[in-house]
A and B are shown apart, each in its own frame.
Chain A
Amino acid sequence: MCLGIPGQIVAIADGDATLAVVEISGVRRAVDVACVVDPGQPLETLIGAWVLVHVGFAMSRIDEDEAAATLQILAEIGEADAEIEAMRDSAAAPPLAEKESTPCAS
């Protein structure tokens, strides 16, 4: 079962019961944070952290550096090829209009 969604921890619901409030696009829910809390650290240190939520449990802390690194790799993919293609196209014919890209908001 895989449906998990990133959410941000915005408050502590019940510190003794390791429950925090996560917010996803304005929707809030109490989640169990036992899997993401640093042992020995108070729950409050989680506020502001991004976590992966699955069936009411925060199962992993999202590593923002890794996310940025992945996006960087993605940004570079095909860049060399795209440049070569662009050079080829501009030599042969008028440049094609670039399709506007709008990331999916949903």
Chain B
Amino acid sequence: MNIPFDATPRRPRRVSQTTVTLAHGGGGTAMRDLIEDVFLETFAGVAHPPAEDQARFDLLALMTLGDRLAFTTDSFVVDPLFFPGGDIGSLAVCGTINDLAVGGARPVALSCAVIIEEGLPVDTLRRIARSMAHAAAEAGVSIVTGDTKVVARGACDKLFVTTTGIGVVRAGLHVGIDRARPGDVVLVNGLLGDHGAAILNARGDLALETTIESDCAPLHDLVATLIAAAPGVRMMRDATRGGVAAVLNELAEASKVGVRIRELDLPIRPEVSGFCEILGLDPLYLANEGKLVVVVPADEAPAALAAWRAHPLGREAIAIGAIVAARPGRVVMETCFGGERIVDMLVGDQLPRIC
């Protein structure tokens, strides 16, 4: 039996309220409106319609990209939500892309799950969704599935975002934190500490005026450049929480080697330096969101640096040190002064000091 359908096209769903309420998480039309209006439409350029409960991928097509599946997840709880150089959205997209990239994987797709605190302005959510879409589009990656929950006031801090990513690892590429050998060289792609300083300053209580911005950026293209120039690359990591110091310490322990870096070679912006001097912070422990720490065989280092310096995200790339056999498990820094000190892991967060 033919049931005549209404010829009027269905109007697009729109959120009418200005703040998110528990109703928007209830599974009913309010939630549908929120998802379509804020997320689906915003991700329309990067998402694969129609919206099912899961995204589906042709395996054979994936296998043309490499021979292993890479799979990672990360939750983002940054405060404040917006900061110079980025926001929780761009951070969530780039962070997960980067976690895939440092394993040698080409990022394929992301999921986006949000937990929204009741009372968050819808406009804030829209801005963040747009930021995510923009970051994903720039990186050539799709946001293909997601989830939306709303919790009561106080049950979360404004907004939490979790992104999970899949990628395909290039055939024959083997990198690992335990693969560094004495004689290898440690490289970074640019100025250290920008993100950590920007976030600390954005929290507002320090009353410092500065132009420091987060370096948040997707690094998979920079990784591709590195692999092409230095196919013997041993390990790659992005230096997020805990900064370069955390990566170097993990590397020293996992590879059972010593790491020796030179303070004079650490690339640090003068403003970040000044910021750190005022607060008594060490830039080695500040987070980065657009920086790689990589280890390459010594004979491949010049080519790696040349390739990076020709890339927009690697202009200030530099060798900061080397892998040595002495003092395995330890990171030692030759100070700008000629002395030596150990760069250890910190207990918790680095706190500004006045002493």
Determine whether A and B are in direct contact in the complex, meaning some CB atoms lie less than 8 angstroms apart. yes
Q: Is the CB of A1 within 8 A of B270?
A: no
Q: Is the CB of B336 within 8 A of A24?
A: no
Q: Could you say which of A3, A25, A29 contacts B209, with CB atoms under 8 Å apart?
A: A29
Q: Across the interface, which residues of A come within 8 angstroms of B275, CB to CB?
A: 25, 27
Q: Across the interface, which residues of A come within 8 angstroms of B268, CB to CB?
A: 106
4 additional A-B pairs beyond A27-B275, A104-B263, beta carbons within 8 Å, are A2-B354, A29-B208, A29-B209, A106-B283
Q: Is the CB of A26 within 8 A of B280?
A: no
Q: Across the interface, which residues of B come within 8 angstroms of A2, CB to CB?
A: 354-355
Q: Is the CB of B337 within 8 A of A29?
A: no
Shortest CB distance B206–A (Å):
8
Q: Could you say which of B211, B212, B277, B337 contacts A5, with CB atoms under 8 Å apart?
A: B277
A-B contact pairs, 20 of them (CB 8 A): A3-B353, A5-B277, A5-B278, A24-B278, A25-B270, A25-B273, A26-B210, A27-B208, A27-B209, A27-B274, A28-B209, A28-B210, A29-B207, A29-B208, A29-B278, A30-B207, A104-B263, A104-B337, A105-B270, A106-B266
Q: Across the interface, which residues of A come within 8 angstroms of B211, CB to CB?
A: 26
Interface residues contributed by chain B, number (CB under 8 Å): 25
Q: Does A41 contact B (CB under 8 A)?
A: no
Q: Is the CB of B280 within 8 A of A3?
A: yes
* 0/1 string, B240-270, CB within 8 A of A gives 1: 0000000000000000000000011010101
Q: Which of A5-37 contact B (CB under 8 A)?
A: 5, 24-30
Q: Which of B179-217 contact A (CB under 8 A)?
A: 207-212
* 0/1 string, B205-242, CB within 8 A of A gives 1: 00111111000000000000000000000000000000
* 0/1 string, B325-355, CB within 8 A of A gives 1: 0000000000111000000000000000111
